[in-house]
Structure 1
């Protein structure tokens, strides 16, 4: 069960890893980042809601009292993470912004410890910090650093919203279907984007041509399809499923593998080769994720003061095995 859950989390990270390369191809086709993001959210939302309406209409039913939660999920866990990232990279190097966004595992662990008051094994903290160290090496934070105050503020907010994604994905109950939440969340995010993405001005004809990045060319519609189906629908469905089966703390830490996955995918699709530091950082990142997963997935036993305590189940109806998993944490989006 634990191995399968971890595999789902890694699969989610690799699906998300297609975001950057496919976004680059759409940029090569003539779309702006915000236009590509709107197509991503709207396309994924429409596909999920349509399919669910045909095969599983009950998944789309949201209790009236849970509408605010779904709206918050769309705004914070999806729209805010995407929007803040795109705005922040106009003021900060992409590598620095990625590092800031993926400090979310640390925020999750801190949230679980000091807000939810769940005592985690020390290895959980160590694993999160080692993963962040590995990530810093992957993006080579020391290269081209610019400490723009507004950019840093936006980066912190993006990290908080990213952590929120993990925490919210972990905390909703059985009265909301996972697929329905993601589908409505995507559509809600697309609505939030309307005034700034201005889809009526998107050069839709560009999707009928080709997209070229360097010496690599793809049909633009294929890049858009991969961005929607793989990097969004598959990524979010497997991501939320992994968080529900593991924990927010573990899920957010393993999700940082996305940076390594994105680099590998860019290597294959765009010819962007990994450097020595990226390979070293990737190994360190994976080691940190493994340490955090092992520590957090191991059932904690009550003991003397200062010992870790087992997490109380926060969702009715979860299996006994899931109830033993330590409290999930953080904000992400």
Structure 2
């Protein structure tokens, strides 16, 4: 059952990319979409914290510090992800974001948390080859993927890695719901400062508001809670494989609903990235750091 929670969370995240793509297709900016996704998620984790206040760790300075770092990471992840979708496609953006474990590896090599080996470097090179094929950077404007879209997708993955490290180091000092509450509050503060106030306020009276609500509920509120609870009883390797549901769901949504097209070489690149990253997550100890095992959320 716990693995099903992780799968459902990944499914929600995959669908959120497609919903965000629909909203941006209607003219809403990536920052507005990102803000409302995080703000609605904040409401959910605040309710969760109110229902389960024990062991929150809100008096711990270390918990606050690392939770703020996690908030900066999740703010960057949401914003760069939707920028990547706006500049390219849902399928490409989701797959590039799934490269986050590569950034974790590089950081772990630098911090000496893991020793580099030829096999690991080969896997990283394979992911880079997959990125080149997916984005088709060797063909100007090919596949509708701009350099800005490709770069933003990679930054989304890097930001996700920052979120994971922040969450990991905050976890020993507080509850998951408290950490997420601080992280989403930081996200809201960052993105509201970067947003077009007029367009953000217009969301409250737009006919598109149900899509914003669905995006926030499933893309940040329910999904993060399901993911954290599911991880309590799911092995990191299993969770890593289950997480593949996100980019696959996002890609299918983009192709079926948004009529996005992928060339054969892009599909090959996507498969190369997903299979290599999943293998890294299953057969190395670093993804045990990437797939955070938080304290019990009950």
Aligned to 1:203: 202
Residues 1:32 and 2:38 are matched in the alignment: no
- Higher-Rg member (1/2): 1
User: Unaligned 5+ residue runs, structure 1?
Assistant: 210-219, 298-324
Of 60, 64, 69, which residue of structure 2 is paired with 1:72?
69
Task: Give the 3 Å change call, closer, same or farther, for CA 137–252 of structure 1 in structure 2.
Answer: farther
Aligned to 2:295: none
Residues 1:328 and 2:289 are matched in the alignment: yes
1:90-239 equivalence runs, <5 A = 102-119=98-115, 123-143=119-139, 144=141, 158-199=156-197, 201=199, 202-207=201-206, 209=207, 220-238=208-226
User: Unaligned 5+ residue runs, structure 2?
Assistant: 292-298
Distance 1:13 1:64 in 2: 30
TM-aligned CA deviation for residue 181 of structure 1: 1.4
Pairs aligned (count):
283
TM-aligned CA deviation for residue 115 of structure 1: 0.7
Task: Give the 3 Å change call, closer, same or farther, for CA 204–69 of structure 1 in structure 2.
Answer: same
Residues 1:296 and 2:292 are matched in the alignment: no
Task: Give the 3 Å change call, closer, same or farther, for CA 59–24 of structure 1 in structure 2.
Answer: farther
**Structure with the higher fraction of residues in helix conformation:** 2
- TM-score for both structures, normalised by structure 1: 0.66
Task: Give the 3 Å change call, closer, same or farther, for CA 26–228 of structure 1 in structure 2.
Answer: same
CA contact 1:29–1:206 (8 Å) conserved in 2: no
- TM-score for both structures, normalised by structure 2: 0.73
Q: In structure 2, the residue corresponding to 1:31 is in which secondary structure? A: coil
Q: In structure 2, the residue corresponding to 1:174 is in which secondary structure? A: helix
Task: Give the 3 Å change call, closer, same or farther, for CA 271–88 of structure 1 in structure 2.
Answer: closer
- Which whole-Å deviations, capped at 9, do the CAs of 1:158-187 have from their partners, x for residues lacking one? 554332122223333333111221233112
Distance 1:250 1:114 in 2: 27
RMSD: 4.1
Distance 2:210 2:81 in 1: 24
